[in-house]
Amino acid sequence: MIAVIQRVTASSVVIEGQIKGKINDGFLVLLGVCLADTTEDVEWLAKKILCLRVFGDEEGKMNKDLNEIEGNILLISQFTLHASTKKGNRPSFIEAAKPDQAIPLYEKMIELLSAGLGKRIETGIFGADMKVSIENDGPVTIIIDSQNKR
């Protein structure tokens, strides 16, 4: 499971011309589920996201996590994070999980992130054509891969 986590001052997702999710200060998380992923990967990654200390403290150092700043999360499914470009110029997505495997793990991530924040997180719609707006703060972008825990 790959997460691209962007610290944002604002982010939103539009589907078919309608705003589906919108946040201010917090994280935009792009989430790619691969064939090897399990519930254990979701649990590990959710904890990492919630505990990631990349928000400024009183001295301007990155020491605070989402809960400390009362931040928000916009979670977007993105199978293209598992693109392989080793051969040719057309990416292969054979490592990306199919919807029957990916959707339950994506939904579990929503559940764990919401519980960890103590409030509802914003989301896109799995598999939809989405227009994502990002106002990256910093910029700060962190990539975490649950298949590479060490």
Q: Which of 39, 80, 93, 147 is an active site residue?
A: 80
Q: Which of 6, 27, 55, 79 is an active site residue?
A: 79
- Asked if 80 is an active-site residue, the reply is yes
Q: Which of 78, 147, 66 is nearest to 114 (CA)?
A: 66
Q: Which of 6, 27, 55, 78 is an active site residue?
A: 78
**CA-based end-to-end distance of the chain:** 14
- Asked if 18 is an active-site residue, the reply is no
Tell me how far apart the alpha carbons of residues 123 and 20 are, in angstroms, rounded to a whole number.
7
- Asked if 126 is an active-site residue, the reply is no
58 in the Ramachandran plot: left (φ > 0), alpha (ψ -120 to 50) or beta?
Answer: alpha
Please give the positions annotated as active site: 78-80
